[in-house]
């Protein structure tokens, strides 16, 4: 049960409906503020530092874009800001959100029959102290050998252009997925177990 007298307010820095749904498993009261941040990265080569930086920058953007003009005072007080960034990585190459259906098909063809990992970086930022905690969770996903027809049908029907790697595992069955090794919520984009750990470390009382 949440201790409403001791806890700071929770702000989720994400527009993702999947994250909105998953956070409700651990926190019942929270506000959503969309981060204003350019997620473009300079290289397609994956490192933990790259995704950690993206996640934290999302949380910081909430503070930086909600200040009293000229005063430098953040409008959010007594808050813990949660942000996250998810990537699909194959052979150390980052697969982000596809720009169109053609690129989505290309991504899924490259992932077909192989094992890749999905990594989510989660950040918790204290709006008052500006102290932050960031950690990563990795889950290994093995795809079946996917036919061109199955890939084309999936991209056409599910429109996965808003998803890293051009897929949402919650939409897929055994004809797509051979094995998942690790946290399934992480693949969806919000590992609630890790989020809860970071919130507790930041002083939140459940």
Report residue 119: phi and psi, to 5°: -125, 135
Contact (CB, 8 A) for 79 and 9: yes
Catalytic residue among 31, 49, 85, 183: 85
User: How many residues in total does the chain contain?
Assistant: 206
The answer to whether residue 85 is catalytic is yes
Q: Print the SS3 string covering 50-83.
A: HHHHHHHHHHHHHHHCCEECCCCEECCCCEEEEE
Distance CA 85, CA 97 (A): 12
- The residues that are catalytic are 85
């Amino acid at each position: 049960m949440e201790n409403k007298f001791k806890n700071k307010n929770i702000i989720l820095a994400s527009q993702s409906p999947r994250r909105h749904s998953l956070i409700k498993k651990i926190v019942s009261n929270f506000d959503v503020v969309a981060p204003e941040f350019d997620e473009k990265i300079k290289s397609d080569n994956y490192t933990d530092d790259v995704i950690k930086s993206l996640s934290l920058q999302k949380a910081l953007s909430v503070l930086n874009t909600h200040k009293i003009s000229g005063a430098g005072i953040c409008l959010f007080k007594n808050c813990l800001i949660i942000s996250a960034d998810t990537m699909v990585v194959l052979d150390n190459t980052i697969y982000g959100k596809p720009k169109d259906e053609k690129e989505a098909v290309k991504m899924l063809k490259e992932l077909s029959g192989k094992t890749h990992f999905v990594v989510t970086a989660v950040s918790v930022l204290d709006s008052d102290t500006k102290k932050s905690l960031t950690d990563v969770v990795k889950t290994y996903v093995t795809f079946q050998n996917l036919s061109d027809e199955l890939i084309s049908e999936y991209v056409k029907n599910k429109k996965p252009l808003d998803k890293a790697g051009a897929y949402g595992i919650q939409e897929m069955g055994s004809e797509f997925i051979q094995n998942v090794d690790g946290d399934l919520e992480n693949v969806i984009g919000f590992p609630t177990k890790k989020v809860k750990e970071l919130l507790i470390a930041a002083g939140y009382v459940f």
